[in-house]
Structure 1
């Protein structure tokens, strides 16, 4: 399936698919262990209705992947990663444009590490926030708590139903770890 810019194709990540190993390698390098969920269950859970695990290609070139869960009100992008060698070429923005088209009137929602000036990767966090803001996301008043970790919630819409959002977050990780949303 070609995405909006006509140059990229998305392919579902499934057990034993050609994409399985490529995506796993990027998943493990792009996200620290404490932020990752077990890979095999993610792949298996992606067979659920409204759950999507997709690899993105530009021709034969593997560019990145996303893992998302959709509800009537929102699309939660749990993981989005662009291959290091292809960053800065517009692939991340093209992927987000594809999500905007598929979401229709629904809000796009994602979480990022909070901007803390003493964080070792502060510059990376700032760059990530700037990228998402350039692509239409804004910080919400919500903080997402997953186990001992917490994240800033970004969304494309101003008004989100807190209960709906928390349910979507829990469903996305299949209740594998405790999740809470706070203001």
Structure 2
């Protein structure tokens, strides 16, 4: 699996936006134009996931000092279940080796309409080498649990990272924080 930097072309941005809007519910998405702008300004890494020359998905990561937050990760629907997700996570862990790498996912411990899907997703990340981090993340109107490698993420570090990423927008419009479980 290769992490290939996104080229600044209309066709590539269109492909990424289609996957992004198809893979994530509206309530969990920031405007794609914001993601693009932050990636182009160097505040995030936007990767194409490529397996043997074939595009299979995308990864969008926010960085700050030794923190790396896998903000969005998706494999194309037609290419799921073939090991591409596992290969992509392993490639990212190698790329960001020595960093504290983390992600947020729907709470697999709470009552919900899709417990099997949430547990399957949690097991997937466990099998990729990530561990549970004893914090919850509140972002937009959603509540998530954290998983990662390399050490825990402190609430103040998260606040600094996301403040750097979003700037004034963060302070005035986004309600997000990490709290201990």
- TM bucket (normalised to shorter chain) is 0.7 to 0.9
- Equivalent residue pairs, number: 176
In 1: Cα distance, 2:137 partner to 2:110 partner: 19
Structure 1 residues 56 and 42, CA gap change in structure 2 (3 angstroms): same
Are positions 1:123 and 2:116 aligned together?
A: yes
Q: How many angstroms does 1:22 deviate by?
A: 1.3
Asked if the contact 1:9/1:59 (under 8 Å) is kept, the reply is: no
In 1: Cα distance, 2:131 partner to 2:52 partner: 32
**DSSP-derived class of the 1:18 partner:** helix
Asked if the contact 1:111/1:151 (under 8 Å) is kept, the reply is: yes
Q: Which residue of 1 aligns with 2:36?
A: 43
* Among candidates 75, 86, 95, match of residue 93 of structure 1: 86
Q: How many angstroms does 1:65 deviate by?
A: 0.2
Are positions 1:106 and 2:99 aligned together?
A: yes
Instruction: Report which stretch shifted further, 164-173 or 22-31.
Output: 164-173
* Among candidates 147, 150, 155, match of residue 157 of structure 1: 150
Spell out, residue by residue over 1:96-152, the C-alpha distance to the aligned partner (whole angstroms, 9 max, x if none).
122212212111110000014531121111111011011111111111111321110
Structure 1 residues 13 and 69, CA gap change in structure 2 (3 angstroms): farther
In 2: Cα distance, 1:9 partner to 1:146 partner: 27
In 2: Cα distance, 1:118 partner to 1:145 partner: 17
Spell out, residue by residue over 1:159-178, the C-alpha distance to the aligned partner (whole angstroms, 9 max, x if none).
43331123224444552522
**DSSP-derived class of the 2:107 partner:** coil
In 2: Cα distance, 1:68 partner to 1:29 partner: 19
* Among candidates 8, 15, 23, match of residue 22 of structure 1: 15
Unaligned runs of 5+ in 1: none
CA RMSD of aligned residues (A): 2.0
Structure 1 residues 134 and 42, CA gap change in structure 2 (3 angstroms): same
In 1: Cα distance, 2:105 partner to 2:166 partner: 16
Asked if the contact 2:105/2:146 (under 8 Å) is kept, the reply is: yes
**DSSP-derived class of the 1:89 partner:** coil
* Among candidates 60, 67, 75, match of residue 67 of structure 1: 60
Bigger share in helix: 2
